[in-house]
Structure 1
Amino acid sequence: MTITQLTAFLAALEHGSFTAAARALDMTQASVSELVARLERELDVTLFARGSRRLVPSAAALELRPHAAQAVSAVQNGIDTIQALASLDRGTCTFGVLRNAAYYALADLAETFHHRHPNVRLRLVGINSALVARSIAAGELEAGLLVLPIDEDGLDVHPLFRDEVLYASATRPARRGPVTIDEVADAKLVLYDAFAGWDDPTRRQLAERARLQGRTIEPAVEVEHVETALSLVVAGTADTIVSRSVAESEGFPAGIRTFPFAEPMHDTIALVQREGVLLSPATRRIAELAERMLRERIPEHAGRTALD
C-alpha cells in the first residue's frame, strides 16, 4: 500500500469518477484506475462499483476513507513540517473564527500570529459559525473556532468554554426576573446574522426551545451585525439576545438591560476541524494560539465556564 494509491483512492471517492480524479491529480485516467485496482487487490476488497456514470463506493471504501485521509494528511504535514522547520517560515494558514470574535479577545489573533510567523500567509474567515462549519467540512478551511451547535457530520469538535446567552431590552422593567420562552415568543425582536438565519447556532437553540413549548419565534427585524441590532434595541424598537461577552464589553450601550433566561441558555465555543485529517503546522499553531488566548482572557464569571 502506497501513499500514491491512497491519494488516488481519496480523489476518486471525492470526485465520483476516475476521469475527474485524474484531472484533479494531474494524472491520466488509466493511472488512477490502476492505482485503485492495485489497492483493491492488496486489500482483497472491492472499493467501487464500476459501470455506472458515477463510481459508487462500497462499505469497505467508506471504512477506509478516514484512515486513508489521515495517512495522506500525516505524510503531507510531515513534509510541510520539515520544509517550514520550527520557525514556520513558509506555508499558508486557513482558519475560521466566530462572527463576534472581537468580543472574545480574539481581535489581535491575526496580529500576534503574523508577528511571530511573518512569512506564513494567513487567511482568517469570520462569518457565522454555521457557514464556517460547512467550509471546514468541505475542505475550504482547515479548522476554526465556532459557536455550537453545528451540523457535526465529518467534523471533530473540541468544546472549550460556555458563554451565557442573555435577553437584552431597553424597555423591559429592571425589576422583572428571568425571561421565559413564552415571553420571547410574544416579544418584538430584532435578530442578527440575517444571512445565516435559523442556521445560526444561537437561533437554533432558541427555536428548539420554542418548538418544545409549541411556540414559534418570528423576528420583526433581521440584521446582519449585533451592533446594528443593539442600536435598534437602545432606541426601544425591539429586544434581542446577546452573549454575556457582548453584554459586558466596553461598547455595550448603557441604556440596555440584560436578563437571564428562566432556563439558562449558553453558547458553547469549540475548536473544530475535519474528522481524521491532521492540521498543517501553520494552522495547528494558530489553533493553539487562539485556544490559549481564549483561556487566558476569559474573565472569571458565573456565566462563562471553561470546559476541559
Structure 2
Amino acid sequence: MTLTQLKAFLAALECGSFTAAAVELATTQASVSELVARLERELGVRLFTRGGRRLAPTEAAVALRGHAEQAVSAIDNGVETMRALHALEGGTCTFGVLRNAAYYDLSDLVQRFHERHPRVKVRLVGINSALVARSIAAGEIEAGLLVLPVDEDGLRITPLFRDEVLYATARPDGPAEPVSIGQVCDAKLVLYDAYAGSQDPTRRQLLERARLEGRVIDPAIEVENVETALGLVASGAADTVVSRTIAESASFPAGIRVVPFAEPLYDTIALAQREGAYLSPAARRLAELAERMLRARIAVHPGRTAIE
C-alpha cells in the first residue's frame, strides 16, 4: 500500500469518477484507475462498483476513508512540520482567546508573537468559551484559551489555573458577606455573554448549583460585554458576577464591592485543541507563548491557583 494509492482512492471517492480524479491529481485516468486497482488487490476488497456515469463506493470504501484521510494528512503534516522546523516563514494562524482577554494581560499576545515571527499572519478570535470550544472541535480554530466547563467532545483540554468568581453589587442593601446560591437566585441580575446564554461556562456552573437546590436563575438584563454589565451594576440597576481578575483590575468601577460565594466558585482557564489533530508550528508557538504569559501572571498574583 502506498501514499499515492491512498491519494488516488480519496480523489476518486470525492470526485465520483476516475476521470475527474485524474484532473484533480494532474495525472491520467488510466493511472488513477490502476492505482485504485492495486489498492484493491492489496486489501482483497472491492472499493468501487464500476459502471454507469459515477463510481459507487462500497461498504469497504466507506470504512477505509477515515483511515486513508488520516494517513495522507499525517504525511502532509509531517512534511510541513519539517519545512517549518527552524523558522515560521508564513501562513495564517487562527487562535481563540478569552472574551475578557485584556484582563489577563493577553492584549499584547499578538504583538509578542509577531515580533518573533513577523511573516506569520495571526487571527485572534475573542468569543465566548462555549463558542471557542465548538469552533476548535469543528476545525475552524486551531487552538485556544477558554473557560471551563465546556462540552469537551473531540477536544484535548489542558487546565492552567483557577480564578475565583465573585458576586458584585453597588446597592446599599446588597450583601456584604459571602452569598449563597439562593441569594443569587433571588437577586435582580445583569449577566453578560448574552449570545452564549446558558452555554456560558460561568453561567453553567451557577445554573447547575441552582438546579441542585430546586431553584432557577433568571437574569433581569442580559448584555454582551462585562463592561456594560459593570456600568449597570455601578448605577445600582442590578448585580452580577465577575472573576477576581476583573474585580482587581484598574478599570473596575470604584463604587462596586465584591463578596465571595459561601461555597467558593471558580472559573478554570484552560488551553484546548482538537483531539488527534495536527497543530501547526505557528499555533503551537502561540499556545506556548499564551501559556507562559498566563503562568507568569499567576506567579505574581497569589490569589489565583495554578494547575500543574
- Give the TM-score of the pair, scaled to structure 1: 0.82
Structure 1's 130 and 10: CA in aligned 2 closer, same or farther, altered over 3 A?
farther
Runs of at least 5 residues in structure 2 that lack an aligned partner in the other structure: 49-55
Structure 1's 56 and 156: CA in aligned 2 closer, same or farther, altered over 3 A?
farther
Question: Which residue does the alignment assign to 1:193?
Answer: 193
CA distance in 2, matches of 1:71, 1:225: 43
Contact kept, 8 Å, 2:47 with 2:57, in 1: the verdict is no
Contact kept, 8 Å, 1:174 with 1:257, in 2: the verdict is no
AA in 1 matched with 2:258: T
Question: Which residue does the alignment assign to 1:206?
Answer: 206
AA in 2 matched with 1:111: Q
Question: Which residue does the alignment assign to 2:155?
Answer: 155
Contact kept, 8 Å, 2:46 with 2:58, in 1: the verdict is no
Query: What percent of counterpart residues are identical?
Result: 68
Displacement after TM superposition at 1:111 (Å): 0.5
Question: Which residue does the alignment assign to 2:120?
Answer: 120
Displacement after TM superposition at 1:158 (Å): 1.0
Residue by residue over 1:263-307, the C-alpha shift from the partner in whole angstroms, topping out at 9 and shown as x without a partner, is 111111111111111201111111111111111112555642111
Displacement after TM superposition at 1:79 (Å): 2.2
Indicate the RMSD between aligned Cα atoms, in angstroms: 3.5
Contact kept, 8 Å, 2:5 with 2:39, in 1: the verdict is yes
Q: Which has the larger radius of gyration?
A: 2
Question: Which residue does the alignment assign to 2:266?
Answer: 266
Partner SS for 2:146: strand
Q: How many residue pairs are counted as aligned between the two chains?
A: 297
Residue by residue over 1:66-118, the C-alpha shift from the partner in whole angstroms, topping out at 9 and shown as x without a partner, is x7666444433332233334121212211111111111111100111111101
CA distance in 2, matches of 1:34, 1:131: 45
Partner SS for 1:210: helix
Question: Which residue does the alignment assign to 2:52?
Answer: none
Partner SS for 1:268: strand
AA in 2 matched with 1:92: T
Question: Which residue does the alignment assign to 2:285?
Answer: 285
Contact kept, 8 Å, 1:69 with 1:276, in 2: the verdict is no
Partner SS for 1:298: helix
Displacement after TM superposition at 1:250 (Å): 0.8
CA distance in 1, matches of 2:36, 2:208: 45
CA distance in 2, matches of 1:72, 1:296: 39
Contact kept, 8 Å, 1:130 with 1:200, in 2: the verdict is yes
AA in 1 matched with 2:92: T
CA distance in 1, matches of 2:58, 2:148: 33
Question: Which residue does the alignment assign to 1:231?
Answer: 231
CA distance in 2, matches of 1:187, 1:75: 57
- Give the TM-score of the pair, scaled to structure 2: 0.82
Partner SS for 1:144: strand
Displacement after TM superposition at 1:150 (Å): 1.0
Question: Does residue 1:95 correspond to 2:95, yes or no?
Answer: yes
Residue by residue over 1:28-62, the C-alpha shift from the partner in whole angstroms, topping out at 9 and shown as x without a partner, is 9x9999978876765668999xxxxx98988x949
CA distance in 2, matches of 1:186, 1:194: 20
Residue by residue over 1:115-164, the C-alpha shift from the partner in whole angstroms, topping out at 9 and shown as x without a partner, is 11010111111111111111111111111111111111111111111111
Structure 2 counterparts to residues 54-65 of structure 1, below 5 A: 61=63, 65=66
Question: Which residue does the alignment assign to 1:51?
Answer: none
Question: Does residue 1:78 correspond to 2:78, yes or no?
Answer: yes
Runs of at least 5 residues in structure 1 that lack an aligned partner in the other structure: 49-53
Structure 1's 243 and 175: CA in aligned 2 closer, same or farther, altered over 3 A?
closer
AA in 1 matched with 2:116: R
Displacement after TM superposition at 1:209 (Å): 0.9
Structure 1's 213 and 57: CA in aligned 2 closer, same or farther, altered over 3 A?
farther
Question: Which residue does the alignment assign to 1:276?
Answer: 276
AA in 2 matched with 1:95: F
Question: Does residue 1:108 correspond to 2:111, yes or no?
Answer: no
Structure 1's 85 and 243: CA in aligned 2 closer, same or farther, altered over 3 A?
same
CA distance in 2, matches of 1:181, 1:46: 62
Contact kept, 8 Å, 1:70 with 1:277, in 2: the verdict is no
